[in-house]
Amino acid sequence: MKICIKRIYIKPDFVIESDNKLLLDNIRFLYSPFVYEESKAENPYIISVMEKSNGFMLRHQGNLSIVPFKDALQALLNILYENSYSCNTKLLLHAAAAGWSGKAYIFPADTFTGKSTLMAYLGSNGYDYITDDITVIDKSSFKVLPYPKNIILRKDSIKILKKYDVELYDLKEVSWEGISKYSFKKTKTHVLCQYDLGGIIFLERNDENINTFVTINQSQGFIRLMKSSLFYEGNHPEKIHDIRKIISCGCFHINFSSLSYVKDILKGHFNG
């Protein structure tokens, strides 16, 4: 069995071959809507993942390894990430983004900070869903472009969103080695829109009922955003220029435990 991953703004195309249907189903789930038949691939990077008695055999670009069953999905995701690169005309950030009145608010944050949960919540409260993981910025216009993948939620995210009365229509579940993830695609996405930069808001989540919002200077914003850039190696002048241009819209930091607090900050500080 083979599938092709063909993403906008990100190269190369990947072809994944495996004899394990559940593994491929997980990849289809996580990379929807960018999964196609093999024939769609152009100059593909080929990965073979075959089940053996002691685990999975991964083969790609002359590399060969055996990984335990429980680690196979993450190992495959790591290969996809480590061998991706952006096209020259776009800057990619590890960040979520939501749109309001033609402006995009970008939320750089680490994994497990709650980016996807926040985007599902904001989307249910009238904001445009732009992305929950990879923010794409055009390097000539510095407009933010939608990256229309499904929102991927964990079980604890579902519980949080239900507390805020978010209606999770068309929720689909997939699991690997007992760990479930959920795909949420009901949120409105404006695929053809291009958004002006509204602000860079660095996220920090806590479980201690703390909610704070502060402005940070451009030097701090520059350092943090450099760390958030994806598939863009080195600190050469072009990258430095791009990051400086982006942070000129203003940099902020939110430490939050309440999703509604973030919504209120967006409404009051940026759109009051």
Give the pLDDT confidence score for residue 246 in this predicted structure: 95
Predicted confidence at residue 233, as pLDDT, reads: 53
Residue holding tokens 């989307």? 123
- Name, in order, each residue with C-beta under 8 angstroms of 157's C-beta and a sequence gap of 6 or more: 114, 116, 117, 120, 182
**CA nearest to 151, candidates 32, 262, 7:** 32
Query: How confident is the model at residue 60, as a pLDDT?
Result: 96
pLDDT reported for residue 264 = 95
For residue 122, what are the CA distances in angstroms to 100, 116, 117, 129, 270? Answer: 10, 10, 9, 8, 15
**How far apart (Å, rounded) are the C-alpha atoms in residues 163 and 259?**
10
CA dist list (Å): 101 to 138, 241, 266: 19, 27, 12
Query: Can you say whether the dihedral through the CA atoms of 210, 216, 219, 225 is positive or negative?
Result: positive
Give the count of beta carbons closer than 10 Å to the beta carbon of residue 59: 14
Question: What integer pLDDT is reported at residue 186 of this predicted model?
Answer: 56
Q: What is the pLDDT of residue 239?
A: 84
Report whether 243 contacts 222 (CB < 8 A). Answer: yes
CA angle 192, 111, 233 (to 5 degrees): 70
Cβ count within 10 A of residue 50: 12
134 to 9, 39, 125: CA distances (angstroms)? 10, 26, 21
Q: What is the mean pLDDT of each run of 10 residues along the chain (272 residues)?
A: 92 95 92 84 92 95 94 93 87 93 93 91 92 92 90 92 89 86 69 87 95 96 89 69 93 97 92 65
Q: Please report the pLDDT score of residue 236 as a whole number.
A: 75
Ranges of beta strands (E only) in the chain are 2-5, 10-11, 14-18, 35-36, 45-52, 55-60, 63-67, 85-86, 90-100, 103-108, 128-131, 134-138, 144-145, 151-154, 172-176, 179-184, 196-205, 212-216, 229-230, 251-256
| Residue 140: both structure tokens together | 């000539």
Nearest to 230 by CA among 143, 149, 134: 134
Tokens for 213, please give them: 């919002």
So what's the pLDDT on residue 112? 84
The pLDDT assigned to 144 comes to 96
**pLDDT of 232:** 56
